[in-house]
Chains A and B, each alone.
Chain A
Amino acid sequence: MNVNSTSSDFKELLFSNMDKVLHAWMLLDGENNIVQWSAPAEQHFGYSSNDVEGRPFSMLLPEHTHNREQYIALLELDCHNGSLINHRTQMVQRSGVIMDVVLSIHLLHNHQIFKLITFANVTETTELQHFVNNKMMELVERFHFFHGKDLTPQMHEIFDAILVAVTSGQGLKFNRCFLLLVDQDDQELKGVQAIGPASKEEAGRIYQELSASPPTLTKMIDLYKAAGQGSDSWINQLVRNIRVNLSEVDHILIQTLFNQKYQLVNDTSTLVSLPSFNWLRKTFSIHECLLVPLIWHGQSVGILIADNAVTGHAITDINIKALTDFAKTATEVIETVKLLSKLEESITYIKATNVKIKESQAQLMHQEKLATQAQLIAQMAHEIRGPMAIIGGFARRVHKRMTPADINYDPVDRIVETVATLELVLADILDQGPKAQDMAEDCDAAKTINRVVSLLEEEIHNRRISVNINIKGDLPNIQIKEHHLFEITHNLVKNAIEAIGKDGLLLILANELGNMVVITIQDTGPGISQAEEAKIFSPYYTTKEHGTGLGLVVVQKLVEEHRGMLTVHSLPGKGTTFTFSLPTVNKQEET
C-alpha cells in the first residue's frame, strides 16, 4: 500500500471504480429525487444524467405501478439494518420498454437519508423462466390427463425447452448446451441431453432460418427437432457417453458439483492442472465452456455445460450471470419433472395393486357366494329330511300291513322307494363330512408332545414338577389331525399335572410298537382307586372342583375314532399311567 496516499485518494479511487463494482446504480436524496446517476444506469434506461438528476425516482417506474409516488418510501419501511436486498420489480426505459429488475436499497445517513439503489436487469432470465415454467405447466396438465403413460418423452421435451432457452437468440445466446444429471441409484453423473448445431455450416443454416422470421422459443424446439436428426443425435450421443462416478472427486465435473459454484473452463482457469480438464475440452472440442451446477435444496443434482463452440465468442460476465440465474429455474423444473415421473411410477404401482385387490375381492365374493349357496342348500336339505323321514316312516308302516295283492301295494311301494332314493341324495349332500379317520393327516407325535409341554410350561414350573420326555428317534407319523392329537395329549398331560398337585415327576414316553405309536403319560400323583377307575371314562364324572367331567370322554372318543387304544393303570399312593396307541402312517392296516 502506498503510504503517501491520502484517504481522499482512496475515496477518489473507490468512486471512479464504482461502476465496475456495482454495475448499475443511482443515488436518491431524502425526497427520493435522483441526485447521482451512473453510466451503466444510463445504458440500461437510455437517460443521461441531465435527463434525470433532480427528478423523482418514480419517473423510472411504469405508469401502472401500485403506489408509484410512494414506492421507495414504502420499501424503506421494509429495510432491515438499513438495507433491502434483491427486491424484484419492473422499471421502464426511456423508449417505454419495460424491464424486469432486481434492485437493492442501502440507506445512507447524512444530515438527511440518502438512498443508494443498485439494480440488475433480469428481463431475459425472467422471460426464459416464464417460458420454461409454462412448458412445465403444460406438462403437468398433460400428466393429469394422461397419467399411466410413460413420461420419458415429456421429460425430454422439458429438457429440450431448457436447452433451447440457453442457446436460442431470444434466450441466453450460447451456441450449445449439455445437460448432465446425478443418478443417485448408480452414484453417477450422467449425460442426458444436448442441443446445438454440429458444425459451423449447420449453425449458419439454422441461424439464417431463424433470422428470416424470428421464431418463438416453442417454434425453436420444433426447428431443432426438424434440423436434421443426424446432428442432433450426434451431439446427444456425445453427451450420453459421459458417465462419471461421484467418487471421482478429482474430476472437474464432480468438483463443480461439490463446490456448488460455476466454473469457467478456459486457459485462465485455476483447474487447468486437472487431467479431466483437458479431457473435457477434448470431448467437446472447445477451448472455453461454462459449467453451472444445478442445486436443489442445497444438493447438487446436475450440471449445465454451455459453450460457444460454433461462433467462438468469448463467454462474458453477463453470459455467466444469466446462465447461473437461469440454472435455478431449470433445476426447479427438472426436479418437478423427476418428481412427476416418480409419482407416475407410484401411480402405476398403486393401479396395479388396485387391480390385484379387485381381482381377489371378486374371487372372494364368488367364493363367499358359493359358500352361502352351499349353506342354503344344506339348510334346505335338512328342512326336507325331517318331513321326508315322516313320509317314509308312515309309508313303510302302511306298506308293511299290505300284501302284494292289495291294490295300493304298488303305489305305496313306489312312495317308499322314492323316499329312500331321496334320502340317499340328501345323505350325499349332508353327511359328506368324512369320518375322523378319513380326515386324518400325517402327524408328528414328537412335535405335538413338545407343543403341549411348552404350552403348560408355566404351570409345570409353578408346581415345581420335573418333566422327563423320552421320545424314540425317527418315530413314524401318526394318522390323525394334529389338533386331535393335541387334544388327547393336552388332556392327559393336564390331568397328570393336576393329579400331582405340587412337587412330583411327570414322565412322557413315545415309542413305536408294531404298526402303532404308543404314548405313555405317567404321573406321581395320588393315583386312582379301582372303584374310581371304572368311572373316570363316564361323562360328567369329575374329581376336580371346576372340571366338566368330559376330558377323558373326549380322549377316549378321539382315540377310538382313530382306531387306537386307551388304557389306564394306577397304583394308589404311587401314581397313574395313561397309555394310548394310534396307528402309524406307513404301516396301515387294510380296511
Chain B
Amino acid sequence: MSEISKKILVIDDEENVRELLKLEFLDLGFEVMTANSAFNGLQVLKDHKMDLVILDIKMPGMDGIEALEKIISTQRGLPVIIHSAYSHYKDNYLTWSATSYVVKSGDLTELTAKAKEILANKED
C-alpha cells in the first residue's frame, strides 16, 4: 500500500450502507467519500480524482447503470465495482463494462478483497 492513500467514492442512496462502507474502508486505510445519488456522485468525480467507485444500481433518479455509462465515457480507466442487492443485473450487458460486480452482503469480505485487488493492480 502506498503512502498516499487511495480514494474510494461510495455512491448509494442508503445512508447506512454509505456509513458502513465508509467505516470499513477507512479501517483498511483508504480515503472514502460518499454520495447519496448518482447525480451527486458524478459531481464529486468532476471535482475530485478518485481511484475506485463503488456504485449501487437501484437508486431514485439516475440509476447506477446510467451513471456507469457516464463514468466510463468521461473517466476512462476509473475502476467501478457494482454493489447491488440484485444479482440479475449481471445479465444486463450494460453492467459488463464494470470492473467487478458484488452482490450486497453483511459479509464485506468479497467487496473489500475485490477493491484491494483492483487498487493493487492499478498501482502497477
Nearest B residue to A433 by beta-carbon distance? Answer: B88
A423-B105 contact given A386-B17, A433-B91, CB 8 Å threshold? yes
Report yes or no: B106 in contact with A393, Cβ–Cβ below 8 A. Answer: yes
Nearest B residue to A558 by beta-carbon distance? Answer: B93
Report yes or no: B97 in contact with A389, Cβ–Cβ below 8 A. Answer: no
Nearest B residue to A381 by beta-carbon distance? Answer: B85
- Identify 20 residue pairs between A and B in the complex whose beta-carbon atoms are under 8 Å apart, listed by A's number: A382-B86, A385-B104, A386-B104, A389-B17, A389-B85, A389-B104, A389-B105, A389-B106, A396-B106, A419-B106, A431-B103, A433-B88, A539-B96, A539-B97, A540-B73, A550-B93, A553-B96, A553-B97, A554-B96, A557-B96
A430-B105 contact given A539-B97, A554-B93, CB 8 Å threshold? no
A396-B107 contact given A433-B91, A539-B97, A554-B96, CB 8 Å threshold? yes
Q: Which residues of chain B in 7-24 are interfacial with respect to chain A, using CB atoms and an 8 Å cutoff?
A: 14, 16-17, 20, 23-24
Partner of A397, one of B14, B23, B76, B86: B23
Q: Looking at chain A's contact residues, is the secondary structure mostly helix, strand, loop, or mixed? A: helix
Report yes or no: B107 in contact with A420, Cβ–Cβ below 8 A. Answer: yes
Query: What is the 8 Å Cβ interface bit string for chain A, positions 476-509, against chain B (1 contact, 0 not)?
Result: 0000000000000000000000000000000000
Nearest A residue to B14 by beta-carbon distance? Answer: A386
Q: Tell me, in angstroms, the Cα distance from A419 to B17 when the chains sit together.
A: 16
Assess whether B87 is interfacial by the CB under 8 Å rule: yes
Q: Which residues of chain B in 68-124 are interfacial with respect to chain A, using CB atoms and an 8 Å cutoff?
A: 69, 72-73, 76, 85-88, 91, 93-94, 96-97, 103-108
Nearest A residue to B98 by beta-carbon distance? Answer: A539
Q: Give 13 A-B pairs besides A393-B108, A423-B105 with Cβ atoms closer than 8 angstroms.
A: A382-B86, A385-B85, A385-B104, A387-B16, A388-B106, A390-B16, A393-B20, A393-B24, A397-B23, A419-B106, A431-B87, A550-B93, A553-B93
Taking each of B69, B72, B85, which has the highest tally of chain A beta carbons within 10 Å of its own beta carbon? B85
Report yes or no: A540 in contact with B93, Cβ–Cβ below 8 A. Answer: no
Taking each of B20, B24, B88, which has the highest tally of chain A beta carbons within 10 Å of its own beta carbon? B20
Cβ–Cβ < 8 Å partners of A553 in chain B: 93, 96-97
B76 to chain A, nearest CB (A): 8
Q: Tell me, in angstroms, the Cα distance from A573 to B96 when the chains sit together.
A: 32
A380 to chain B, nearest CB (A): 12
Cβ–Cβ < 8 Å partners of A314 in chain B: none
9 closest pairs, A vs B, by CB? A392-B106, A539-B97, A389-B104, A385-B85, A390-B16, A393-B20, A431-B87, A386-B85, A419-B106
Report yes or no: A430 in contact with B87, Cβ–Cβ below 8 A. Answer: yes
Q: Tell me, in angstroms, the Cα distance from A554 to B107 when the chains sit together.
A: 31
Cβ–Cβ < 8 Å partners of A538 in chain B: 76
Assess whether A391 is interfacial by the CB under 8 Å rule: yes
Q: Tell me, in angstroms, the Cα distance from A518 to B27 when the chains sit together.
A: 49
Cβ–Cβ < 8 Å partners of A419 in chain B: 106
A-B pair number, CB within 8 angstroms: 72
Binding site for A on B (CB under 8 A): 14, 16-17, 20, 23-24, 69, 72-73, 76, 85-88, 91, 93-94, 96-97, 103-108
Q: Which residues of chain A in 513-571 are interfacial with respect to chain B, using CB atoms and an 8 Å cutoff?
A: 538-540, 550, 553-554, 557
Cβ–Cβ < 8 Å partners of B24 in chain A: 393, 397
A390-B20 contact given A396-B108, A420-B107, CB 8 Å threshold? yes
A390-B97 contact given A416-B106, A419-B106, A423-B105, CB 8 Å threshold? no
Q: Tell me, in angstroms, the Cα distance from A395 to B106 when the chains sit together.
A: 8
Cβ–Cβ < 8 Å partners of A390 in chain B: 14, 16-17, 20, 106
Cβ–Cβ < 8 Å partners of A397 in chain B: 20, 23-24
Cβ–Cβ < 8 Å partners of A207 in chain B: none
Cβ–Cβ < 8 Å partners of B86 in chain A: 382, 430
Cβ–Cβ < 8 Å partners of B104 in chain A: 385-386, 389
Report yes or no: A540 in contact with B97, Cβ–Cβ below 8 A. Answer: yes
A588 to chain B, nearest CB (A): 24
Cβ–Cβ < 8 Å partners of A420 in chain B: 106-107
Taking each of A382, A389, A392, which has the highest tally of chain B beta carbons within 10 Å of its own beta carbon? A389
Report yes or no: A394 in contact with B93, Cβ–Cβ below 8 A. Answer: no
Query: What is the 8 Å Cβ interface bit string for chain A, positions 360-399, against chain B (1 contact, 0 not)?
Result: 0000000000000000000000100111111111111100
A256 to chain B, nearest CB (A): 78
A391 to chain B, nearest CB (A): 6
B44 to chain A, nearest CB (A): 21
Cβ–Cβ < 8 Å partners of B85 in chain A: 382, 385-386, 389
Nearest B residue to A387 by beta-carbon distance? Answer: B16
Q: Tell me, in angstroms, the Cα distance from A433 to B97 when the chains sit together.
A: 21
Q: Tell me, in angstroms, the Cα distance from A420 to B107 when the chains sit together.
A: 8
Report yes or no: B107 in contact with A392, Cβ–Cβ below 8 A. Answer: yes
Cβ–Cβ < 8 Å partners of B72 in chain A: 539-540
Nearest B residue to A424 by beta-carbon distance? Answer: B105
Q: Tell me, in angstroms, the Cα distance from A420 to B110 when the chains sit together.
A: 14
Cβ–Cβ < 8 Å partners of A539 in chain B: 72, 96-97
Nearest A residue to B109 by beta-carbon distance? Answer: A396
Cβ–Cβ < 8 Å partners of A396 in chain B: 106-108
Nearest B residue to A391 by beta-carbon distance? Answer: B106
Q: Tell me, in angstroms, the Cα distance from A550 to B86 when the chains sit together.
A: 23
Cβ–Cβ < 8 Å partners of B96 in chain A: 539, 553-554, 557
Query: What is the 8 Å Cβ interface bit string for chain A, positions 419-435, against chain B (1 contact, 0 not)?
Result: 11001000100110100
Cβ–Cβ < 8 Å partners of A431 in chain B: 87, 103
A433-B87 contact given A389-B17, A391-B106, A396-B108, CB 8 Å threshold? yes
Nearest B residue to A383 by beta-carbon distance? Answer: B85
A485 to chain B, nearest CB (A): 15
Cβ–Cβ < 8 Å partners of B108 in chain A: 393, 396
Cβ–Cβ < 8 Å partners of A386 in chain B: 14, 17, 85, 104
Cβ–Cβ < 8 Å partners of B73 in chain A: 540
A392-B103 contact given A382-B85, A553-B96, CB 8 Å threshold? no
Cβ–Cβ < 8 Å partners of A427 in chain B: 103
Q: Tell me, in angstroms, the Cα distance from A325 to B88 when the chains sit together.
A: 82
